[in-house]
Amino acid sequence: MSELAISIFTGTLIAATPLLLAALGELVVEKSGVLNLGIEGMMLIGAAAGFLVAVQGGGLLPAFAVAALAGAVAAALFGVLTLLFLTNQYAAGLALAIFGSGVSATLGVGFGSQPIEALAPLNLGPLADLPLLGPLLFRFDIMVYLGLALVPVTWWWLNRSRAGLVLRVVGEAPGNAHALGYNVLRIRFLAILWGGALAGLAGGYLSLAYTAIWVENMTAGRGWIALSLVVFATWRPFRVLAGAVLFGGVTILQLHGQILGLPVPSEALSAAPYVATILVLVVISQNRARMALDVPLSLGKPFRARD
């Protein structure tokens, strides 16, 4: 296999990782019946908070932990507004996206273009030296493997564990779950925190590994793409992985297209991932009957204990 093909494959998985992390978190949130449109804001806050720790010498692993914590704190704000004060979920999510952009810009003041040492690939010893398989499978950083591992874990948790089944009941029929004695608001709040932590982790990956530099609004719409991935995947983890790889591949191919000097305007190549997102959503929306079967029935609907 040529070096170019290996570079495209590995680059695709790396580019897919932040999308995969954020989308898996949002999938769990939406399975609980809550729609959080603020992924972009949580990713930006996570990216800025993680980079702040790293640039001050706190180390990369603590930086990732802080990124996840920052995303969870931002999500908690959304949870309080929507679950306790019954604020409109769409408005609160959009506000969180805007809020995250402002907070991250404030945290990033003074960073400039100061680089840090990027997260290094894991040292897997002889595995990394295997012909073909080494560069294809065993030369990634820990966050890539974490994202891939979360796919089957999320599927198992949602479909085989008691807690996951309860979460799904909360998302489908919160009134029934409440009648059975489950605390709907607590379950939804915990799901929101998990989604925020993964979104913050995804943002941290962008600033600590993918680019290893801070740039204002560096997510560049990836939060919105992650949101669309959940719909694209019809709320199924393995399809989220397929969608993340698809959009990651488009991103890497357009970069290689620019490097190779293809006779296409660079602006058109840069827009390719977003155009792909729109086209996929248009195709999916044609099968409304199938989507109606997959979408959580209480998605976006507030719950009151007296309902």
pLDDT tens per residue across span 17-47: 999 999 999 999 999 999 999 999 999 999 9
Structural domains of the chain, with CATH: 3-294 (1.10.3470)
Residue 262 pLDDT > 70: no
The C-alpha torsion from 244 through 248 and 249 to 250, rounded to 10°, is 110
Q: What is the pLDDT of residue 135?
A: 83
pLDDT of residue 271: 73
Q: Place 306 in a pLDDT band, splitting at 50, 70 and 90.
A: low
Whole-model pTM?
Answer: 0.93
What pLDDT digit, counting tens, does each position of 265-292 carry?
666 666 777 777 777 777 766 666 666 6
Higher confidence at residue 119 or residue 134? 119
- What pLDDT shows up at residue 91? 96
Contacts of 150-158 with CB under 8 Å at 24 or more apart are 150/20, 150/21, 150/24, 150/198, 150/237, 151/20, 151/24, 151/237, 151/238, 151/240, 151/241, 152/237, 152/238, 154/24, 154/27, 154/28, 154/237, 155/236, 155/237, 155/238, 158/28, 158/31, 158/237
| Residue pLDDT, tens place only, 50-81 | 999 999 988 999 999 999 999 999 999 999 99
Which residues does 101 contact at the CB level (< 8 Å), separation at least 6? 40, 41, 44, 217
Q: CA–CA separation, 7 vs 73, rounded Å?
A: 36
Q: pLDDT (tens digit, 9 = 90+) per residue, 1-18?
A: 577 788 888 999 999 999
What integer pLDDT is reported at residue 131 of this predicted model? 83
Q: Considering the chain, what is the average pLDDT of its residues?
A: 89
Mean pLDDT of 260-265: 63
Whether the predicted pLDDT of 224 surpasses 70: yes
The percent of residues above 90 in pLDDT, for the chain, comes to 62
Candidates 52, 46, 53; CA nearest to 18 is 46
